[in-house]
Amino acid sequence: MAGLIGKKIGMTRIFSEEGIAYPVTVVEAGPCPVLQIKTAESDGYEAVQLGFGAKKAKRSPKAELGHAAKAGVEVAPVILREFALGKGEEYEPGQELTVELFEAGDSVVVTGTSKGKGFQGGVKRHGFAGRPASHGHSMSRTPGSMGPGTDPSRVIKGKKLPGQMGNVRKTFRNIQVIKVDSERNLLFLKGGVPGSRNSYVLITK
C-alpha cells in the first residue's frame, strides 16, 4: 500500500492510561499530495508518487513547479518518493494522504538514512574486543591479524576493517504506532527509527 513521507522531529515518552511509559519517536507525517500515478502501460510498473513539504517559489525550478501544477499542487515539494501500489488501490493526482492512513496499534515499516559517523575503527564499527590495555603498549584498538600470510598472501574479501560507518539506508520493521495526532499531522512510533533529527523517513504498513 501507499505510505507517507515524514520528518523525524525527535524522541520523547508518553504514558498509557495504565501508567506505562513508552519511549516514542515523533514523526511529522504528511500531508502528502499525490503528484503522479505510474502505470504498467506507460512506465513498466505501478506506483504512486508522493511529495512532502513546500519549497520557496524562488528556490523551485520551473520543471518542478510544472510537474506539481499538473497535479493541481501550487508549490513544489521538498522531497518526492514513490510507493508501490497494492491490488485494488486507486489514487488521483492532487489527492492528499494524511496520518489518518494509520491507527494506534498498527505495525509499520520505517525506512530512513542512518546517522553518519565518519571513518571509524574496528572497535566501534564492528565491536572488536581490542587488545589488553595494560603493560604499556599503544596498540590496544588495532584490528590485529589481517589473515593468511604466504598463501593466499592477501586480505580475504569481506574482512571486517576500519572504514566509513553509518549514512546508509536502513529499514526498521514491526514498529508499533502508539498514538496518531491528526490535528498536527504527528505519528508517535514506539522506540527509535533511523536517522537524525529533521531527516526524512518513509512509513508504510
Global pTM value = 0.87
* β-strands 47-52, 79-84 pairing: antiparallel
Please answer whether residues 18 and 94 qualify as being in contact, where contact means their C-beta atoms are separated by less than 8 angstroms: no
**pLDDT of the residue at 139:** 83
Q: What is the pLDDT along the chain (205 residues), one digit of tens a residue?
A: 679 999 999 999 999 989 999 999 999 998 999 999 999 899 999 999 999 999 998 999 999 999 999 999 999 999 999 999 888 788 999 999 999 999 999 999 999 999 999 999 999 999 999 888 888 778 888 888 888 888 888 999 999 999 999 999 999 999 999 999 999 999 999 999 999 999 999 999 8
- What the chain holds in terms of domains, given with CATH numbers, is 1-30+98-127+163-205 (2.40.30.10), 31-97 (3.30.160.810)
CA–CA distance, 48 with 170 (Å, rounded to integer): 22
User: What's the order of all strands across the beta sheet hosting 79-84?
Assistant: 79-84, 47-52, 32-38, 96-97
**pLDDT of the residue at 119:** 98
